[in-house]
């Protein structure tokens, strides 16, 4: 499991919300690579950066929840959650995803790039669609994104 800070180019995400990143893998990776700890700011506050939380299948759901709590303790502007539910059963996945709501409640913008976007959508406020052409299209879940039509790799 790792928690790291990473570079960005000023991507704006809604503070205090969970956003699921969708699109082709290469486009999602480009978005992740565009994040910059030096430019991320809390509204009215100093640069707080980007914190990335990742895991591997060998980690328990409790270890992953602890990593999310540690990330939140840094008070970052953005927390990138990359493939944090890989290898978990449905109970562990639900535990980890529920913690994303708690993390967002601290004021951080939480961006989720997960192998199971349908499960991640269950706790999301919105979607950021990354196009292969480099375009980004935010979507509110209030606009009824239908998880049934999200294909793997979306």
pLDDT 10s digits, 122-135: 899 999 999 989 88
Q: How far apart are CA 28 and CA 49, in angstroms?
A: 19
- What does the pLDDT average to over 90-113? 93
Whether 45 is covered by a domain: the verdict is: yes
User: What is the reported pLDDT for 95?
Assistant: 94
Inter-residue contact 113 to 103 (CB < 8 Å): no
Inter-residue contact 111 to 13 (CB < 8 Å): yes
Whether 134 is covered by a domain: the verdict is: yes
Whether 152 is covered by a domain: the verdict is: no
Whether 153 is covered by a domain: the verdict is: no
Pairing type for strands 109-113 and 78-82 reads parallel
Q: How far apart are CA 64 and CA 71, in angstroms?
A: 11
0.85 surpassed by pTM: no
Label residue 101 by pLDDT band (50, 70, 90): very high
Domain count, the chain: 1
Inter-residue contact 85 to 120 (CB < 8 Å): yes
Q: How far apart are CA 129 and CA 89, in angstroms?
A: 26
Residue 115 DSSP one-character state: S
| The pair of three-digit structure tokens given for residue 6, joined into one six-digit string | 């990473």
pLDDT tens digits, 40-93: 555 555 546 888 898 888 899 999 999 999 999 988 889 999 889 999 999 999
Q: Which residue range is the domain that position 114 belongs to?
A: 2-145
At 128, which CATH number? Answer: 3.40.50.300
Whether 154 is covered by a domain: the verdict is: no
């Amino acid at each position: 499991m790792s928690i790291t800070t990473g570079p960005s180019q000023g991507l704006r995400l809604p503070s205090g919300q969970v956003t699921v990143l969708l699109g082709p893998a290469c486009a999602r990776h480009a978005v992740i690579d565009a994040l910059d700890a030096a430019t991320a700011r809390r509204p009215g506050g100093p640069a707080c950066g980007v914190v990335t939380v990742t895991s591997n299948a060998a980690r328990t759901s409790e270890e992953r929840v602890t990593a999310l709590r540690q990330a939140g303790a840094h008070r970052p502007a953005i927390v990138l959650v990359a493939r944090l539910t890989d290898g978990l059963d449905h109970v562990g996945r639900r535990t980890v995803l529920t913690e994303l709501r708690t993390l967002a409640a601290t004021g951080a913008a939480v961006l989720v790039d997960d192998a199971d976007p349908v499960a991640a959508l269950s706790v999301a406020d919105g979607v950021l669609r990354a196009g292969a052409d480099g375009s980004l299209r935010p979507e509110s879940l209030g606009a009824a994104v239908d998880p049934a039509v999200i294909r793997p790799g979306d």
